[in-house]
């Protein structure tokens, strides 16, 4: 074990849970335009907590245990929803319920950002190509995301107090670090070659948001976390850095602009792995990077970052260790569980298997399959598979899309239930009606999840203050002879069946209405790419006589086939 005290500066085990309290973590998986669905889930989740705690404050007869949301981990679109949560929760914001699309902005930061503003018509703009001296950074124009980000940081409503939100609220976002962090595995035998060099690219950024809802707890601090102090403001550097991290996490490779991230070199001195100690017990061991001589002695460590989902699209473990500590364990048994991680995954289904027969596979197909294999292997977590096989684990739950199909008798699950599910998760950007559907479906799914799935055996002592009260027996459910209680009970306006199933948005988008913008974006990319090419006439001729029309046919055909396969045309 290295001669260092660095592992001791991380919480080995978190402080004990508060009495009568479930401590929660949210893991928000990458979702592309499925972020609108996740936004709807979060909107209902926070509304349910509001109604429950408001009823308690008024002295109504409702369950009396407590909830404390401590951490949100996110990848890609999940990171953006993490920032939206941190911005919105200090305020009393309006919620969007089932019904027609609102004509204007609603004041709901989740709905306005995801449904009203992130749209293909903005992403097909040309503002990012205005400076001919700058390289092409992405196929789509990401400048509209920067505008939305600034507006989100300027959000404000009437302030409120939420005792169920921890202070600080931890947010951990995954990013793919294209620069990489070097490490060296030392071997004996050749003094000229000290060891085997490796490079780590799966990275994350950790934040502690001062919510002001409760006294700031310092016992949960990690040395690599950045403190974000309230209130939110677009000119505050801590909030800008917070939002920049989320935009970096959401920078879909090639599609959206990559981002530059700066952080202290010392952050990487705190990375640890868990290994068996000399007595067989688990020990955290620091793995300091193998920086070049003097490289870490000045300035900040800077790197270009893209989509965190490329390496870790479901950062469940980051949320779990924030709750439990580096060596801690969250109790899993139903009568002992007190910490729960809820994973919100709009696209939980597995990828399509790759080729199985060499004779029917060509070079292009094999290379495409290799890139897919790299991504899926980077995301593979066998320890999560092992725990998922145990039905008695109550420390982890998942919410994912589900709705009846448009044909009688069938049911759509996962990405197939979303209007955002076509085009690899990008189709939601095509129409506001698609995103409106997905947002409302998220609210509906969350209502049923809280009522029917997020249940723990009523024998758990956290429920002792009310589970035996006959006046509150209506909150209990009996499943296969065992009595369960809700972790988050539905109270007031959130109970019942208010969240109606939204109509499937078939026919809400016409491919031909978007093609002029697609052509305009293609033309702008062509001009930017060929500005410094010597043989400009030949290139111009090929583009205008053949290539442009071919690409437009390909895009139009791909859009039509993808939307038709989802019954959206």
Per DSSP, the three-state class of 113 is: helix
With beta carbons less than 8 A apart as the criterion, state whether 289 and 357 touch. Answer: no
| Burial environment of residue 491 by CB neighbours within 10 A (0 to 12, 13 to 18, 19 or more) | buried
Q: Which residues pair with 397 in a beta bridge?
A: 342
Q: Which of 73, 76, 142, 144 is catalytic?
A: 76
Residue 155, CA atoms < 13 Å, CB-side half-sphere? 28
How many whole angstroms separate alpha carbon 8 and alpha carbon 198?
25
Q: Which of 342, 295, 559 is nearest to 449 (CA)?
A: 342
Token look-up 């940081």 returns 153
Token look-up 């599609």 returns 255
Rounded to 5 degrees, what are φ and ψ at 526? -60, -45
How many whole angstroms separate alpha carbon 499 and alpha carbon 123?
31
Listed in order, strand segments (DSSP E) in 29-77 are 66-74
The answer to whether residue 567 is catalytic is no
Token look-up 């030392």 returns 186
| Long-range contacts of residues 291-294, Cβ cutoff 8 Å, at least 24 apart | 291/182, 291/265, 292/182
How many whole angstroms separate alpha carbon 132 and alpha carbon 134?
5
Q: Which of 66, 141, 224, 307 is catalytic?
A: 307
The answer to whether residue 556 is catalytic is no
Which active-site residues does the annotation give? Answer: 76, 307
């Amino acid at each position: 074990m290295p001669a260092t005290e660095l592992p001791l500066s991380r919480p080995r085990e978190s402080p004990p849970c508060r009495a009568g309290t479930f401590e929660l973590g949210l893991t928000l998986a990458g979702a592309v335009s499925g972020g609108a669905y996740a936004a709807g889930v979060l909107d209902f989740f926070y509304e349910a907590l509001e109604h429950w705690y408001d009823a308690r404050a008024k002295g109504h007869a409702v369950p009396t245990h407590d909830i404390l949301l401590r951490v949100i981990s996110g990848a890609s679109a999940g990171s953006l929803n993490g920032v939206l949560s941190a911005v919105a929760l200090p305020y009393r914001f309006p919620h969007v319920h089932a019904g027609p699309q609102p004509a204007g902005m609603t004041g709901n930061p989740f709905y306005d950002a995801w449904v009203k503003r992130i749209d293909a018509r903005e992403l097909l703009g040309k503002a990012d190509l205005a400076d001919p001296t700058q390289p092409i950074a992405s196929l789509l124009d990401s400048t509209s995301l920067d505008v939305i980000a600034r507006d989100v940081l300027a959000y404000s409503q009437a302030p409120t107090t939420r005792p169920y939100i921890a202070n600080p609220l931890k947010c951990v976002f995954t990013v793919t670090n294209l620069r990489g962090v070097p490490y060296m595995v030392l071997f004996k035998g050749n003094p000229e070659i000290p060891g085997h060099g490796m490079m780590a690219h799966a990275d994350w950024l950790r934040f502690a948001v001062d919510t002001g809802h409760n006294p700031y707890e310092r016992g949960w601090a990690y040395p690599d976390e950045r403190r974000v102090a309230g209130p939110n403001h677009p000119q505050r550097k801590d909030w800008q850095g917070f939002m920049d991290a989320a935009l970096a996490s959401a920078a879909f490779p090639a599609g959206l602009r990559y981002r530059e991230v700066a952080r202290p070199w010392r952050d990487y001195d705190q990375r640890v792995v868990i290994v068996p100690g000399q007595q067989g017990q688990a020990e955290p061991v620091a793995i300091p990077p193998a920086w070049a001589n003097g490289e870490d002695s000045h300035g900040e460590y800077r790197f270009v970052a893209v989509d965190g989902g490329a390496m870790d699209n479901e950062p469940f473990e980051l949320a779990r260790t924030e709750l439990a500590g580096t060596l801690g364990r969250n109790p899993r048994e139903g009568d002992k569980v007190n910490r729960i991680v809820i994973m919100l995954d709009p696209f939980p289904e597995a990828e399509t298997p790759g080729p199985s027969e060499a004779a029917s596979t060509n070079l292009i197909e094999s290379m495409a399959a290799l890139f897919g294999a790299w991504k899926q292997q980077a995301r593979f977590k066998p320890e999560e598979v092992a725990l998922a096989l145990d039905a008695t684990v109550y420390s982890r739950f998942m919410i994912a899309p589900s709705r009846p199909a448009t044909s009688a008798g069938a049911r759509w699950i996962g990405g197939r239930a979303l209007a955002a599910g076509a085009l690899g998760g990008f189709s939601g950007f095509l129409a506001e009606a698609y995103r409106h559907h997905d947002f409302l479906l998220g609210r509906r799914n969350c209502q049923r999840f809280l009522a029917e799935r997020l249940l723990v055996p009523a024998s758990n002592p956290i429920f002792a203050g009310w589970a035996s009260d006959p006046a509150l027996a209506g909150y209990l459910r009996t499943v296969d002879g065992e009595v369960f209680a809700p972790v988050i009970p539905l109270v007031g306006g959130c109970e019942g069946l208010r969240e109606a199933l939204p109509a499937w948005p078939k026919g809400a988008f016409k491919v031909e209405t978007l093609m002029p913008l697609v052509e305009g974006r293609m033309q702008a990319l062509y001009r930017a790419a060929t500005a410094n090419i010597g043989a400009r006439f030949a290139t111009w001729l090929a583009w205008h006589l053949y290539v442009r029309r071919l690409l437009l046919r390909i895009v139009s055909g791909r859009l039509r086939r993808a939307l038709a396969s989802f019954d959206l045309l």
